[in-house]
A and B are shown apart, each in its own frame.
Chain A
Amino acid sequence: MIKNISNLGDAALYCDFGTEVNKENNIHVINYFKSIKEENIPGVNNLTPSYNKLIISFDLKKTNYKDLKVLIENLDINSYENLKSEEKEIPVCCDESFALDIKRLEEKLKIDREKIYENFFRKIFFCYMTGFIAGMPFLGDLDINMRVKRLETPRIKVPKGSIGITEQFANIYTFESPGGWNIIGNTPLKIFNKYKESNPNLINPGDTVVFKNITKDQFQNYNE
């Protein structure tokens, strides 16, 4: 449930679902996001769900903070309690040419790479949110012994398709982009498709994701 609504500037509502980042809070965020989206509230421009927050931005010509806050507080969200989600399998090649930070991870985590990959591929991930760059999924949760900070100095260019981990999350770089996540492999799969306007993201909030280890040969000959 929303714990508190405040204003972010003059054209957005900042809905706080609690300080904890966990699946339970996030499912509330996603339920609110989906039901508010279906309401098609006049003047609402954008909804940005994240781990434990939902930002509702609006057109100040059409509505305002006070009116929209009352409207959101009185919405009946109960009917959307069952989160619809899909299961996705993402092929990943962990050849050394893609796994840019595997040595760093071995040192930081004090676990050898076989164990790191074994843990990673065994995990069933949950998509908390998508964004930062188009289509990038934020997937959790990694085991406690797999958690490591971002790079001290972020890379200027992380290759497209890179799979990164940081703290309790894994993500996928849908474009070449700057970034500081620890890169452990690369997927040949298209995660964001701008030509599919109705559903450009392969992975959406609430989906479950498993990664499948593929060889460099399979990577090079990958056909969607």
Chain B
Amino acid sequence: MNKNYFQIIRGGINTTFQDQGRKNLYHIGIPFSGAMDNRNYLLANNLVGNKSEAPVIEFAYQGPLLKYFGKKINIAVTGDVNFKIKRNSNEINGKCYQSITIENGDELDIISTNKSVYGYLAISAQLKLKYQWSSCSINTKANIGANEGKKLEKKQEIDILKINKNLSNKKLNYTDTRIEKIRVIKGTNFDYFSENGKKIFLEKEFIVSKLSDRMGMRLEGSKIENIINTNIKSEGLIKGVIQVPADGNPIIMLSDHGTIGGYPKIGVVISADYDKLVQLTPGSKIKFEEVNLASAENLFRLYELETQNLISQI
């Protein structure tokens, strides 16, 4: 049998293929997309010897249950994820941040993410995927990317074009930490809000609402009062922008966000904290802290160094 593939027995809640995303398409209304937690995405690929920017399977909360058919292959799971490998009648508890060799007939059951939202599964192979604008990232809103832009579901197959031959095992000693303090830069409409509203934004805790997905994260807490206008003329958005609509509850734009919007921008999450932000589960507390541009740039350099350092340890 020549064909190597995974059979999807259970799709999971929000399972998609993701890579580095799509550039230069905001002006026609297509967002960046790509893996939500960039560091865990890069680590997953490096653990199986893939190129850093290869496609991976991203899952949220509950992951997929996959049965493998074919020659030996390496996989790696990153994030804070609870998963099992079922071989014959044995069950092995899976460990994140290491490559695992799986064989014909094995089942990979990604049961859940623990205190986080997203996890990543990298496969040491070239997958058969459709690319649109040089990316296979699935955008379920516009139905763009691999799998006709739809999330993965049971009975589908993940076809492998070519298995990477090197089956050496790799490991990283790393535990993903959780933070509830998210650093922000003041937004372009910061002065639309009352003194008390600004104080609430920078001093009070908010709770991540259930109405959060790859497009955006809604927060609940004390209302942020607008004293100028609850609408602005629609203009461009980027990921990390925090908009406050008329109801006074902030919404943070995430990777699949609408490209333009008409609500005042109170702040923008700094690039260094984006990976941590997206991992906050509904019900989590979140608190914002203001930093200036120079600090944000320094913090990003540190974040990048740390990521590169982790990759070099693999």
B143: A residues at CB distance < 8 A: 175, 194
A48 CB within 8 Å of chain B: yes
Contact of A61 among B258, B261, B269, B304 (CB under 8 A): B304
Name the residue on B nearest A175 (C-beta).
B142
Contact of A60 among B144, B241, B259, B271 (CB under 8 A): B271
Contact (Cβ within 8 A) A132 B259 = yes
Complex alpha-carbon distance, A192 and B132, angstroms: 14
Contact (Cβ within 8 A) A133 B141 = yes
Name the residue on B nearest A54 (C-beta).
B236
Contact (Cβ within 8 A) A60 B142 = no
Complex alpha-carbon distance, A131 and B261, angstroms: 9
Complex interface: stretch among B4-12, B172-180, B292-300:
B292-300
Contact (Cβ within 8 A) A46 B233 = no
A170 CB within 8 Å of chain B: no
A7: B residues at CB distance < 8 A: 185, 293
Complex alpha-carbon distance, A85 and B271, angstroms: 37
Please count the residue pairs between chain A and chain B whose beta carbons lie under 8 angstroms apart in the complex.
Answer: 136
B234: A residues at CB distance < 8 A: 50-51, 129, 132, 138
B258: A residues at CB distance < 8 A: 131-133
How many chain A residues touch the partner (CB < 8 A)? 45
Interface members, chain B 97-154 (any A CB < 8 Å): 132-133, 141-144, 149
B283: A residues at CB distance < 8 A: none
B277 CB within 8 Å of chain A: no
B32 CB within 8 Å of chain A: yes
In angstroms, how far is the closest chain B Cβ from the Cβ of A80?
15
Contact of B300 among A10, A175, A192 (CB under 8 A): A10
A31: B residues at CB distance < 8 A: none
Contact (Cβ within 8 A) B185 A47 = no
Complex alpha-carbon distance, A10 and B185, angstroms: 8
B265: A residues at CB distance < 8 A: 8
A9 CB within 8 Å of chain B: yes
Complex interface: stretch among B21-29, B156-164, B199-207, B220-228:
B21-29
A91 CB within 8 Å of chain B: no
In angstroms, how far is the closest chain A Cβ from the Cβ of B126?
22
A9: B residues at CB distance < 8 A: 185, 238, 240-241, 268-271, 296
B188 CB within 8 Å of chain A: yes
A192: B residues at CB distance < 8 A: 28-29
Name the residue on B nearest A137 (C-beta).
B29
Name the residue on A nearest B25 (C-beta).
A46
B70 CB within 8 Å of chain A: no
A213 CB within 8 Å of chain B: no
Contact (Cβ within 8 A) A55 B240 = no
A52 CB within 8 Å of chain B: yes
In angstroms, how far is the closest chain A Cβ from the Cβ of B21?
9
B282 CB within 8 Å of chain A: no
B260: A residues at CB distance < 8 A: 48, 50, 129, 131-132
A28 CB within 8 Å of chain B: no
A136 CB within 8 Å of chain B: yes
Contact (Cβ within 8 A) B27 A33 = yes
A-B contact pairs, 26 of them (CB 8 A): A7-B293, A8-B238, A8-B265, A9-B238, A9-B271, A10-B293, A10-B296, A10-B300, A11-B271, A14-B188, A46-B26, A46-B27, A46-B32, A51-B233, A53-B233, A57-B238, A60-B271, A65-B293, A129-B27, A132-B258, A134-B29, A135-B28, A194-B132, A194-B144, A197-B133, A200-B28
On A, residues with C-beta under 8 Å from B are 6-12, 14, 21, 33, 37, 45-55, 57, 60-61, 64-65, 129-136, 138, 174-175, 192, 194, 197, 200-201, 204-205
Known: A8-B265, A60-B297; 16 extra A-B contacts, CB below 8 A, are A6-B188, A7-B293, A9-B269, A10-B293, A33-B27, A47-B24, A50-B235, A52-B233, A53-B233, A53-B236, A55-B235, A55-B236, A129-B27, A131-B27, A133-B258, A134-B144
Shortest 7 CB-CB distances between A and B: which pairs?
Answer: A48-B236, A9-B268, A55-B236, A131-B29, A10-B296, A46-B26, A131-B259
On B, residues with C-beta under 8 Å from A are 23-30, 32, 132-133, 141-144, 149, 185, 187-188, 233-238, 240-241, 258-261, 265, 268-271, 293, 296-297, 300, 304
